[in-house]
Structures are given as structure tokens and as C-alpha cells.
Structure 1
Amino acid sequence: MIGDYTYSEFGSILAMQGFAGLILFSVFVLMALGLAIIFGQMGVINMAHGEFMILGAYVTYLCSTFVSATIPAFFPYYFFVAMILAFCAAFALGVLVEWAMIRHLYKRPLDTLLATWGLSLVLQQTYRTVFGAREVGVSLPDWLIGSLPVTDVVEVPINGLFVMALTFVITAVVYLLMYRSNWGKRVRAVVQNRTMAGAVGINTRMTDRMTFGLGCGIAGIAGSAFTMIGSTGPTSGQQYIVDTFLVVVFGGAASLLGTIASAFTISQAQSTMEFFMSGSMAKVLTLLAVVGILMLRPQGLFTLKIRR
């Protein structure tokens, strides 16, 4: 016996909470990948990152509503198109924001924090005006509904498996873009030495713009995935922005491996502790543990070595 639970019951609880933590891990990774690109590579503190995620969620909601009303035969497949449209919408808005506002604030991180926080409030009010203050839900195709039995007491939701598979694919694509493509080489060259990168012919301004747009576009995909595990409201993005920054800072800015490792650590800790105590207390203990580790290792779990 462990407390009031038998060993088998306790093992089942850990298995269920562990899988719930994997779903939370998937959302954290999708959110943090975009933020790691923007914050880690560009030094921009984007407080509106959650609103880019919610833009992707609302685009998915509109696709669900439109397809179910006009092309019901296409409904089982609409989610893939919705994710592409969510990426395109968030990417386009990100490029516009970088051109109109962010490019004037480089090397001024506190100014980017204030500016993007104001942008966050503007986007929240825009969503509230267009979609209303109430949360909306997305209708899922039949093949994403239900669960798969693992044991007699443990079942795995299909939509959770889909979110994890999506996270794996997006992470692999980001890795290939950042470390196996010419565009990724240009991004890393700009990060390491902007002046020298410009001197050898790299368009640093366009690289910045596309990098910011990519980070926002990934957040849009995260919002599309978010609709499968929760409802969407104008302020839903604020529920994840603090955890996302925590993941990026704890893992080490500009480190893809660090982002994944910290997302897994934080999500599993929160999911497990939430079963045995309140959700707020689980967040507090997780935050205290992360702060304590950062005091000993300020650069995070992993750090990118850059020659200055």
C-alpha cells in the first residue's frame, strides 16, 4: 500500500498522469518552439505569443464551422487544412508585426516586452469583438474521438496521440530548417555575428522578418492542436504564456534540445503533482524548483556556445 492506494492503483495513476503530462508536454513544445526561435534567436520578448496561438485556434474553429456547414463530406479531413491555414494566418500576422513594430525595437528587450504586451491586449479585444467573450469549441472528426485501451484501467485518448505525433513532426521540421538548411545557416550566422553576416551578403532584415514569422506560425499550429484538448476564448493564450517562457528560459535560450527537455520536465512534474494536490500548488512548487535550479545554472539546462 502507498497511502490509500494499492501498488497497482498507484501504478495506474502514475501511468495516466504521465500520459496527461505527455499531452501537456506536446502543447508546451509547440508553443515553446516558436518562442525559442523568437526569444532565443532574436532576443525579442514576445508577450503576444499566446495570442498568435489563439489566432490559430480561431482559424481552426472557423474551418470546422465552415466545412461542417458547406462541405460535410470533407469534414473528416478538414483538420489538416485548418492547421496549414492556422500557420499561414499566424505567419502573415507575425511578418506584419515585425515590419510595423518589432524591427524598430531590436536590442531593446524591455521595449519589446511593453510593445508586445500592448499588442496582446489589442489582439485579445479584437478576438472578443469578432468572436464574442464566450469560449468556443471545435467539432472533431470521428477518427479523433475516443480512446485506446492500454490496460484494464488505463486508456489513451486518440486526440492526445495525434497531438504528440504532430509535435514530433513539427519538431523534426524545425530541426531540419534550423540545422540542415541554408536558411537555418543564415539565421545562425545573423545570431552569432550580425555585422559579418550582412557583410557577406545575407539580408539580415529579411532573415529577422522570416524568423519572427516562423515563430508565430508555429504558435498558430500550436493553437490548432490546442482546440483538441480545450475550448478557445479571447484570453486562453495567457494561460500558457508564463509556462512557455519558463520552458524556454529553463531549457536554455536558442537550444532546441533544451526546450524539449525542459518542456518534458515541467509538464511531467505539473501533471503528477496536480493529482495529489491543487493545480495552483503544483504550479508554485514547479516554479520554485525551476527558480532554484536557475540560481545554480543561470544559462539553463543547455546553452549555445557563441564566439563573441
Structure 2
Amino acid sequence: MFDGYSSSELVAIFAMQGFAGLILFSVLVLMALGLAIIFGQMGVINMAHGEFMILGAYVTYLCSNIFETYIPGLFCIYFFIAMILAFIAAGALGMFVEWAMIRHLYRRPLDTLLATWGLSLILQQTYRSIFGAREVGVQIPDWMMGALPLTDMIDLPINGIFVMVLTFAIFVAVALLLLKSGWGKQVRAVMFNRTMAGAVGINTERVDRMTFGIGCGIAGVAGAAFTMIGSTGPSSGQLYIVDTFLVVVFGGAASLFGTLASAFSISQAQSIMEFFLSGSMAKVLTLLTVVGILMLRPQGLFSLKIRS
């Protein structure tokens, strides 16, 4: 597999593919954070999670066009405003979906899966009707353009570095929210024992709605970040939904740090193997490895210890 490459070329290849894997890692982490909250904390299989990501991407696309056309002087900061609006739009839609549909399907995982799969098809067609079937891209601000040269053979794109920094900041914020805030304590209480949480005065329905909304809002932020490294189409979210579920299950459904470790290992393995093998073969080998590990450790890389 490494025949024909010098040692310096292999170092450069591994460095560049490793950085490309970190960009994929950033998207997977942002997607998986929202899904880990929804699936890990609530037990809901949300097959429409990718469409909430694409909603955030389209909100960013609209903000890019509006700022470029009407407020060109502030175009350099449009992404930060778009990121906030993407979170609000995806979170609000998520809360509405939880109120209108999900709350009637708790403890019915198969029904939830089918219902959210139908929702994903509806949202895809809605995006197709509004924005068209073609993929669209955003105009990146000038300060995100270019690359930082590390060596003569290795360049790191600035937009990729920005996405990774953004991912780290959001991960820290979500971890603090779940582990240190009063709302996070309520979420964990509902997850461990819903009946007892309700008995001590926690509004479990409100916690469920907020949890689902925040999970979907984080997916919207993932969509905003996705526009910095790729184009957006109505079905782009489905390209990541399987990998995102894989990350959550492999890392441990209720573990944020397991999600982080899982996303890193899967993204790096895929990125490096895709260079030397075909993309489909890299995916197959990654899936086989993950399935083999899950057979030995069904609870994932990390699991919560719960007193019985």
C-alpha cells in the first residue's frame, strides 16, 4: 500500500490526510453532539437529524447572500450572526417537532425511527422546492481564505482551522451545560429515572422539549460550519447521518467524551485509508472494525456507571 512513496512523501501524506480527518472530525462531532443529547439522553432515534443540519446550512447561505447584497461592510462577520440564527432556526423547528410528533412516540423506538425518517423526506423535499435541487455554496469571508504553510509540502487551510476551533468551543460549552448547569442536572435526572424526577418537581415534558430543541440547534450550528468546507444540497445531511449514529453508538450513547473519542478515531481512519484505498473500501473497513469492537464491548468505548 505504501510502495512508491518516499519517507518524506509519506509524512506529508499522513499530515495532510490527518488534517483532512480533523475537518471531518469537526463536522462529525458537531453532528454527534446534538444526536448524543437526543439519542443518549432521551432514547429517541432521530433520522431527520441530518435535515436539521442542512437547515442551518441554508440559513447560513441566506445570511451570506443578504450580507453580500445589502450590508457588504459587515460581510466579514456574517458567519457569526448566521451561526446564531442557524441555532435558533433548527432549535425552534426541533422544539415544534417534539411537541407535534415526538412526545407522542416516547418509549416506541421503531415508531420514532419511522416517523423521523418520514420527516427527513418531507424536509428534503421542502428544501428542494424552496432552494432548488442544485447544491449551493456560501461566499467565505476574506479572513478565512488561504492557507498556513507548515512545510514546503504541507499547507493547512484557514477555514478548516476555524471550524476545528469552533468545534472545540462548542464541545466545551455543551459539556459545561450538561455537567454543571441546573438544566443539565435535570436532564440527567430525567434520563436516570423519569418517574422519580417528575415526583421531585422536575417538569419532564419541558426538559424533553428543551433537550430535543438544543440537540437540533447544535445540528444547525454543524450545518453552518459545514458551509465553510463544502456545498449544501437538499439531501446532503443524509451523507453524514449513518456516520453520526456510528459515532454516538461507538463512543457510548450517553457519553460526550466517548463521542469525542469515537469521532476522532473514525474520521482519522477513514481519511487516511481513503487516500491509499477507495472511499468505499475505507468505509467498509471502518465499519467492520467498529462492529467488531462493539461485539466485544456493546456499551461502546465509554459508558455511564449507574447504581442499580
User: Does the pair score TM above 0.5?
Assistant: yes
**Mapping of 1:16-55 within 5 angstroms?**
16-55=16-55
How many residues are treated as equivalent by the alignment?
Answer: 308
Instruction: Give the letter for the 2:226 counterpart.
Output: F
Structure 2: which 5+ runs fail to align?
Answer: none
Question: Is structure 2 residue 253 aligned with structure 1 residue 253?
Answer: yes
C-alpha separation in 2, matches of 1:257 and 1:147: 30
Pairwise CA distance, 1:93: 0.1
Residue by residue, what CA displacement relative to the aligned partner does 1:130-151 show, whole Å, maximum 9, x if unpaired?
A: 0000000000100011100011
Structure 2 CA distance for aligned equivalents of residues 306 and 25 of structure 1: 29
Superposed, which structure 2 residues align to 1:96-111 within 5 Å? 96-111=96-111
Q: Cα RMSD (Å) of the superposition?
A: 0.9
1:180-236 superposed Cα distances (whole Å, 9 cap, x missing partner): 100000000000011111111100000000000000000000000000111000000
1:196 is aligned to: 196
- SS of the equivalent of 1:148 reads strand
**For residue 211 of structure 1, what is the aligned residue in structure 2?**
211
Q: Percent identity?
A: 78
Superposition pairs for residues 156-305 of structure 1, below 5 Å? Answer: 156-305=156-305
What is the TM-score normalised by the length of structure 1? 0.99
Paired residue secondary structure (1:232): coil
Unaligned 5+ segments in structure 1 are none
Shift of 1:4: 0.4
Distance in 1, matches of 2:110 and 2:41, equals: 16
Letter in 2 for 1:294: L
Does structure 2 retain, via aligned residues, the 8 Å contact 1:38–1:44? yes
2:51 corresponds to 1:64: no
Post-superposition offset of 1:2: 4.8
Whole-angstrom distance in 1 between the partners of 2:65 and 2:12: 38
For the residues of structure 2 that align with 1:2 and 1:212, how far apart are their CA atoms? Answer: 46
Residue 306 of structure 1, CA deviation: 2.1
Runs of 4 or more, structure 1, over 6 Å off, are none
SS of 1:156's equivalent?
Answer: strand
CA distance in 1, matches of 2:156, 2:102: 42
Residue 277 of structure 1 aligns with an amino acid whose one-letter code is L
Report the counterpart of residue 81 of structure 1 in structure 2.
81
Deviation at 1:31, TM superposition (A): 0.3
CA distance in 2, matches of 1:10, 1:41: 42
CA shift for structure 1 position 20: 0.4
* 1:52 Cα deviation after fit: 0.1
Partner SS state of residue 156, structure 2: strand
TM-score (ref. length: structure 2): 0.99
For residues 289 and 192 of structure 2, the distance between their equivalents in structure 1, rounded to whole angstroms, comes to: 31
Q: Which residue of 2 aligns with 1:92?
A: 92
Q: 1:192–1:307: 8 Å Cα contact kept in structure 2?
A: no
Measured in 1, the distance between the counterparts of 2:89 and 2:219 equals 10
Q: Distance between the aligned counterparts of 2:109 and 2:137, measured in 1?
A: 35
Q: Tell me, what secondary structure is at the counterpart of 2:124?
A: helix
* Paired residues for 1:124-139 under 5 Å: 124-139=124-139
State the SS of the aligned residue for 2:175.
helix
Amino acid at match of 2:217: G
